[in-house]
Amino acid sequence: MLVALCALCLCGSTSVRAAESWPRVYNEGVTAYRSNDLAKAVAAFERALASPERELQVRSRYNLGNTHYRLGQAAEKQGIEQALPVYEKSLKEYEGALALNAQDEDAKFNRDLVKKKIEELKKQQQEQQQQKQDKGDQKDQDKKDQDKQDQQKPDEQQQQQQKPDSSQEQKPQEQPAQTEPKPAENLDKQQAAALLDQLREEEKNWNFFPELQMKDLKEAGQPVKDW
């Protein structure tokens, strides 16, 4: 709630007219605030704090709290770091107004509101910082993993060079099909000796009929071989 003071139209001594300037200064701040000229409003309310009147000081600090709060909202669009100091100024002004008048319910309400706002922003700030840290840690870990992979690549390439190409790898020679062994190869010595004796015995009984052969050859007029 913005509080405005009506300028007193009093006639009197020079000191009285000087006293009348404080409400005027205060009202200049109110006009600037309503016109959204917040910088001018801050300057006017701060000047009005010099008033000897306690009530005017309370109202000036209260409206300074309002003005800084709106400035904080504008700064929040640029980031939490820019907004926090402005909101803290607003809180300080509300607490200043309560120091002068502890019964000011509007100042109490606005003070608690700004406190909650500051706590929320600080929490968001911590979360953002944690996220940045986590991203930084993840980036560092990714870099370490990449470096490790890069170190392993030369070893893998070397192993691949040492390993023969499967396409060029020689196939084991196929064993020639085993032929059935000749009967004589499978005979033991006794069987071989017996077979040899049998052959010799049979050889004695062979009859080539050499006379007949020779006779047939002579009759045919073929040359005779001397057996």
Whether 68 contacts 42, CB under 8 Å: yes
Task: Give mean pLDDT, residues 24-41.
Answer: 97
The answer as to whether 142 is a domain residue is no
CATH code of the domain covering residue 128: 1.25.40.10
Q: What is the pLDDT of the chain when averaged over all its residues?
A: 76
Q: Residue 147: what pLDDT?
A: 78
Is residue 207 in some structural domain?
no
Q: Which of 80-89, 112-121, 184-193 has the lowest mean pLDDT?
A: 184-193
The whole-angstrom separation of Cα 192 and Cα 183 is 10
Of the pLDDT bands very low, low, confident and very high (cuts 50, 70, 90), residue 135 is confident
State yes or no: pLDDT of 216 exceeds 80.
no
Alpha helices by DSSP H, 49-188: 54-76, 80-100, 105-162
Confidence of residue 132 (pLDDT cuts 50, 70, 90): confident
Inside any domain, residue 1: no
- How far is 187 from 131, CA to CA, in rounded Å? 91
Residue 16 has pLDDT above 80, yes or no: no
Condensed to tens digits (0 to 9), the pLDDT of residues 51-76 reads: 999 999 999 999 999 999 999 999 99
Please report whether residue 57 resides in a domain. Answer: yes
Task: Give the pLDDT band (50/70/90) at residue 164.
Answer: low
Q: What is the pLDDT of residue 77?
A: 93
**172 confidence band (pLDDT: 50, 70, 90):** very low
- Predicted confidence (pLDDT) per residue in 193-208, tens digit: 777 677 666 555 544 4
Residue 79 lies in a domain: yes
Average pLDDT value for residue range 132-160? 74
Secondary structure of 201-227 as H, E, C letters: HHHHHCCCCHHHHHHHHHHCCCCCCCC
Q: Which residue has the higher pLDDT, 183 or 53?
A: 53
In a domain, 137, yes or no: no
pLDDT of residue 157: 66
Residue 30: band (very low, low, confident or very high) from pLDDT cuts 50, 70, 90: very high
Query: What string of DSSP letters covers 100-124?
Result: H-TT-HHHHHHHHHHHHHHHHHHHH
107 domain residue, yes or no: yes
| Average pLDDT over every residue of 166-189 | 51
Number of structural domains found in the chain? 1
Q: Which domain holds residue 124?
A: 14-132
The predicted pLDDT at position 33 comes to 97
Global pTM reads: 0.55
pLDDT confidence of residue 152: 74
Structure confidence at residue 26 (pLDDT): 96
Mean pLDDT value across residues 137-152:
76
In a domain, 224, yes or no: no
